Each structure stands twice: as structure tokens, then as C-alpha cells.
Amino acid sequence: MKINQYGTQSVNPYHKSFDKQATPSQTNAQQEDKVEISAKAKELQKGPDLMMERQEKIARLKAAVENGTYQIDRAGIAEKMVNFYKQQ
């Protein structure tokens, strides 16, 4: 009976797995993180006017609720709820 080296591994399999683990860490060191801010986000950052408008609207709503003059659009809310559940 003759024994050949066909089918046997001539390279240490543990060494191969070590090489695979070492390679990605070297490439990760060269990569850089990059952040891009959209035009809409930049626009929102500019305007303190938007924050003032929101605060004024909240103050108006709070005052209307406290005075009892806040009116709820029941038909509009019901319609939007029905449309929401029809889409799903």
C-alpha cells in the first residue's frame, strides 16, 4: 500500500485561521469615519426662529387648553385613523 500526500493538508489549519483574523484588523486601521450632514439638517440648525415659533405655538396651545377654548377636530382625527389602518 502506497501513501500519497493527496488529500492531506500540508499547511497548518490553525495558521490559516490566524492569518484571516490578522488581515481585517490591518485594513480597518486605514479606513476613516465620515459624517455627512444633509442640507435639511443644516437648515434646521441655522434657525433659532423655528424654535421660537414652536415655543410660541406650544404656549398658545397650553393657554387654549387651560381656558377650555381648544377645539378638537373629531372628524379629521377619525378620518386619519381610518386611513392609517386601511394602509396596513
| Residue 6 within any structural domain of the chain | no
Is the residue at 61 inside a domain? yes
Given a contact cutoff of 8 angstroms between Cβ atoms, the answer to whether 69 and 61 are in contact is: no
Q: How many folded domains does the chain comprise? A: 1
Residue 77 lies in a domain: yes
Q: Report yes or no on 67 lying in a domain.
A: yes
| Residue span of the structural domain in which 81 resides | 48-87
pTM beyond 0.85, yes or no: no
Each of the 88 residues of the chain gets a pLDDT tens digit; together they read 566 666 555 556 666 666 666 655 555 567 889 999 999 888 877 777 778 888 999 999 999 999 999 999 999 999 999 999 998 7
In a domain, 58, yes or no: yes
Residue 41 belongs to a domain: no
Is residue 76 in some structural domain?
yes
To the nearest 10°, report the CA torsion of 56, 60, 63, 65: -130
Cell numbers at 78, concatenated? 377619525
